[in-house]
Amino acid sequence: MQPSDPFGLGRLRDSILGSWLTSPTRLREDTAAETDLVGVGYRDRLLTELVANAADAATAAGIIGSVRVWHDGRWLHIANTGAPVDSDGAAALTALRSSSKHGGGLIGRFGVGFTAVAAVTRHVEIRSRTGSFEFSAERTRAELAANGVVVEQVPTLRLAWPIDTPPIDGFDTEVVMEIDKSIDMAAMFDGFAAESVQLLLELESIDTITLPDNTFRRVREGDIISVGGASWRELVAPRARWLLPLREGRPVRVRRDVLRAPTRTDVELTVPAICVGDVQLTADRRGLHPDADIAVLAEGYAQIVAELPIDQRMGLVPAPGFAAGRDDERLREALIAELAGHAWVPGAEGDDLIASRAEVLPDLTAGLADLLGEVITTLVHPDLSGRGSLSTLRSVGVTEIGLAEVAERLTGLEREPRWWGDLYAELSVVAQGQVDELGALPVPLADGRTLPGARGTVLPPYRGDEDADVVAPSWLPTVHPAANHDLLERLGAQRITVGEMLSDPALRAEIDEDPADERLVRSVLGLLRAAPDVVVPTWLGQLQLPADDDDVRPADELLLPGSPLSAVLIDDSPFGIVSADLVEEFGQAAFRALGVGWDFTVLREEYPTGPDHDLPDEEQWWSTLDDPPQTLSAVRDLDLVDPDRWRRR
């Protein structure tokens, strides 16, 4: 009883056979064409092409399919779920370089890729729920011989005969082939195991491939895909899926791979992720079609990069280096152009920046980014500003800026002195050996001015009490205490002692001009509060201070409130009492250092030369001496003591 022929294979077979008998050249051409496809186009692609067919069958059926692979002796079985074979598919299998592919999302179901089976067998059966048939080189030779044509080499996949054998239970189609004895079955299945992982990554409509010793399943959790113990992060763009291998949960850059479209081609790539793209290929699915433009796969790449955490984005930028070929170079250039023209580079202020408009300051710290981010709005996030990232950032158009340009950008900026102090602290970390670039860095002064550069300024003394008022000499171009930092000293600012500040001729000139200037008084007292043990010049006593009678007097004509000396002086003594409120603010030590009296002052001088110490009756006493004394000791103001008050004391 003849098997049923639902696909009309008898008619197709008669047509093909008739063409061969009419034109022997046609037979030789078909034989050569199949040999070329097997030997060049579809070598080593057996499982890939059959699983790709299974993926198309699953897509056509609207399901996620599965594939099972096993062998029975030398017979290899590959079964799949999905749409069964139809008449168009059967006809396509008998025609070289033909496919019945229709509709989007199909890879090339039952097209020329099926020729891969001829690399391992001369006898293959296609068993499907809608009908089964076989190809056989032996039966083809016998058919030709019966028609008077005796040849040794014939195409295996041109003449098909219907058979009655159905597919295995649970599957819709099963391909069965007798493997040539020259093929190592164990090595073949080892290859299948490695290939299964890649196929499940590439073909979304197949999620399970079962081998005799292992079952590979694709498991998806969000954008994480796991197959066979390995994981990838999937990033989906309009024309390509990009897969990042994960190691301990973190992406790992792909160094070298091939284009998948969707299965592996021979187009080598050096892009940083596995690329599964939608692009037209040659008939053997190994190379790009002449009309194809691989650059279209870069569309939307910047957007998917922007979806990654900040510390993972640089890994998606093609690394500088030589391309693997013309197609790889074209794709790399397209990816770089896509990244350069779109926003994905994390900015210091938190927004994504367009790469070609972004600027990177090498070794930018988080603290410095917080300060500069609002000023230089195109500044790259500090996490991407390390030295190791610079060449990659430059490759996508990011501009590298230096400290000199930062200083220039800050010119004219109005900020509180504390802001500048924080800035100097952060810059000192970044500058290291590049301090000279900050020569024009703005510096706020205590008098409210801001100078372009630290050279020529004076640093105020350090304050032990952070709550104390500003301590800065008003007669010198002094850096505001809130902005005081060692970086400014490296940039040319002078750090002088309090004694040097109080001995400066500029101070004496200001005292001569206006000894009661409140700003001057407070500056001097503030410095003495910070350094009460400093030795000051005698002319500083001419600084006039507020007294308790609302008048002002030179400091050396004043006594401290409650001083022992004030309790024994006559009523009309020339001394006044300094303002108690001022003493409370700056402390007694500051006033005593300035020369405000507390107790009797003892004068002591070694080798005096004459009566020039402004002591009462000093000239008369000096005239009684035969020779100048070796040491002069005297107590001042004894002539102002009230005897009665002294006795009561």
pLDDT in tens, 258-288: 999 999 999 999 999 999 999 999 877 889 9
Whether the predicted pLDDT of 12 surpasses 50: yes
Per-residue model confidence as pLDDT tens digits over 583-633: 888 888 888 888 877 666 666 778 888 887 777 777 877 888 878 888 877
Calculate the CA 641 to chain-centre distance. 79
Amino acid 637: pLDDT: 62
Q: Which residues contact 425 (CB under 8 A, 6 or more apart)?
A: 367, 485, 487
- DSSP per-residue codes, 417-469: HHHHHHHHHHHHHHHGGGGGGGTT-EEEBTTS-EEESSTT-EEPPP-S-TTSP
Number of Cβ within 10 Å of residue 626's Cβ equals 4
On whether the CB atoms of residues 262 and 202 are closer than 8 A, the answer is yes
* The Cα angle at residue 582 between residues 579 and 588, in degrees rounded to 5: 95
Average pLDDT of every residue of the chain:
88
Whether the predicted pLDDT of 101 surpasses 70: no
- How many residues appear in the chain? 649
Averaged pLDDT, 201-213 = 96
Amino acid 100: pLDDT: 44
Amino acid 568: pLDDT: 60
**For residues 25 and 287, what is the distance between their CA atoms, to the nearest angstrom?**
29
Averaged pLDDT, 132-138 = 95
Q: Which of 48-52, 93-97, 466-470 has the weakest average pLDDT?
A: 466-470
Amino acid 574: pLDDT: 67
Write the CA distances from 567 to 550, 573, 592, integer angstroms: 20, 11, 17
Write the CA distances from 498 to 73, 495, 514, 555, 594, integer angstroms: 100, 10, 21, 18, 13
Number of Cβ within 10 Å of residue 465's Cβ equals 9
Per-residue model confidence as pLDDT tens digits over 226-247: 998 999 999 999 999 999 999 9
Higher-confidence residue: 476 or 81? 81
The SS3 call for residue 237 is coil
Averaged pLDDT, 317-344 = 95
Per-residue model confidence as pLDDT tens digits over 443-499: 999 888 999 999 999 998 765 444 445 567 878 899 998 999 999 999 999 988 888
* The Cα angle at residue 271 between residues 269 and 277, in degrees rounded to 5: 70
Maximal C-alpha separation, the chain? 162
The SS3 call for residue 226 is strand
Q: Give the pLDDT band of residue 364 (cuts 50, 70, 90).
A: very high
The SS3 call for residue 232 is strand
Whether the predicted pLDDT of 638 surpasses 70: no
On whether the CB atoms of residues 82 and 110 are closer than 8 A, the answer is no
Amino acid 98: pLDDT: 46
- DSSP per-residue codes, 314-371: GGGSPPSS--SSHHHHHHHHHHHHHHHTSEEEEBTTSSEEEGGG-EE-TT--HHHHHH
Q: State both tokens at 185.
A: 């079955």
Amino acid 202: pLDDT: 96
Give the torsion sign (CA, 115, 118, 119, 120): positive
Write the CA distances from 471 to 170, 197, 422, 520, integer angstroms: 90, 72, 18, 11
List beta partners, residue 268.
Answer: 258
Q: State both tokens at 519.
A: 């700003």
Residue type, 225: I
Share of the chain above pLDDT 90, in %: 60
CA-based nearest residue to 541, from 517, 558, 565, 529? 558
Give the torsion sign (CA, 625, 628, 634, 639): positive
Phi, psi dihedral angles at 388 (to 5 degrees)? -70, -15
Strands 631-635 and 458-459: unpaired
Q: State both tokens at 333.
A: 């250039």
Averaged pLDDT, 374-397 = 93
Q: State both tokens at 181.
A: 């004895």
Give the torsion sign (CA, 52, 58, 64, 68): negative
**For residues 124 and 76, what is the distance between their CA atoms, to the nearest angstrom?**
9
